């Protein structure tokens, strides 16, 4: 897996435009108080970067050659999950470090904890995105995978809009969340949601392994 990660990081260093945007956003972030937006932005950027490596791998029939490397079928998908994890972690740690260092007089532990609580929601969302995107892109290829996902998310959006517009359904949904939250506590609900997302990640990895085992190149 390490070898495929190295391959991807070497590929990413070619994405100079991304790093330029990242650098400019970091500079902008130094002069703002609210870094939550930037952490969310960097997290999404990290996901896009990670998925772009799958597109590049597929260019010019590249997957055929890649799959002749040692242990390719087993390690290719897992390396993509690891890449997502590393980039996501970096999208958190780097802004915090930059902000703390640049505002060392203003910040204390309480403020950092507050920021942590505000920005933590993006992490499970990104894990969910990874868990869905990677197996879809592996199954359908990078280009078709994006189309499948756009259709899937589009359908979900339509269903969500219909639910929200239909007052009875949206009220029922809201009441259900309130009931469960009051029964178990909203913190427990939040933790349960995170556990479900992590289980989803494990299932996604298993599905990706199966896809890679069966796929033909």
Question: In which region does residue 166 sit, left (phi positive, over 0), alpha (psi from -120 to 50) or beta (all else)?
Answer: beta
Q: Does 71 bind other proteins (CB under 8 A)?
A: yes
Count of CB atoms within 10 A of residue 108's CB? 8
- Residues 27, 48, 64, 151: which binds other proteins (CB under 8 A)? 64
Q: DSSP letters of 42-62?
A: HHHHHHHHHHHHHHHHHGGGH
Closest contact distance (angstroms) between CB of 91 and other proteins is: 22
Alpha-carbon distance 42 to 21, whole Å? 10
* Binding window for other proteins (CB under 8 A); candidates: 65-73, 105-113, 127-135, 181-189: 65-73
**Of 66 and 180, CB closest to other proteins:** 66
Please count the helices (runs of H) and the strands (runs of E) in the chain.
10, 0
Angle, helices 2-12 vs 36-58, to 10°: value is 110
Q: Does 17 bind other proteins (CB under 8 A)?
A: no
Q: How many residues bind other proteins (CB under 8 A)?
A: 26
Closest contact distance (angstroms) between CB of 99 and other proteins is: 32
Binding residues for other proteins, rule: CB under 8 A, are 2-3, 6-7, 10-11, 14, 56-57, 59-65, 67-73, 214, 216-217
């Amino acid at each position: 897996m390490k070898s495929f990660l190295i391959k991807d990081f070497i590929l990413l260093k070619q994405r100079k435009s991304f790093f330029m945007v990242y650098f400019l956003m970091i500079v902008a972030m130094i002069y703002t108080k609210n870094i939550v937006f930037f952490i969310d932005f960097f997290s999404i950027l990290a996901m896009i970067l990670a998925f772009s490596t799958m597109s590049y791998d597929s260019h010019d029939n590249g997957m055929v050659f890649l799959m002749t490397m040692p242990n390719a079928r087993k390690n290719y998908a897992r390396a993509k999950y690891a890449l997502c994890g590393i980039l996501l972690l970096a999208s958190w740690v780097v802004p915090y470090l930059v902000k703390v260092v640049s505002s060392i007089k203003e910040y204390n532990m309480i403020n950092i904890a507050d920021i942590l609580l505000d920005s933590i929601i993006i992490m499970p969302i990104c894990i969910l995105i990874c868990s869905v995107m990677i197996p879809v892109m592996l199954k359908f290829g990078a280009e078709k995978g994006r189309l499948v996902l756009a259709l899937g998310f589009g359908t979900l959006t339509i269903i969500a809009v219909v639910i929200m517009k239909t007052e009875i359904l949206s009220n029922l949904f809201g009441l259900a969340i309130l009931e469960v939250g009051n029964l178990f506590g909203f913190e427990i609900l939040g933790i349960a949601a995170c556990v479900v997302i992590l289980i989803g990640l494990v299932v996604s990895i298993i599905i990706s392994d199966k896809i890679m085992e069966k796929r033909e190149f």
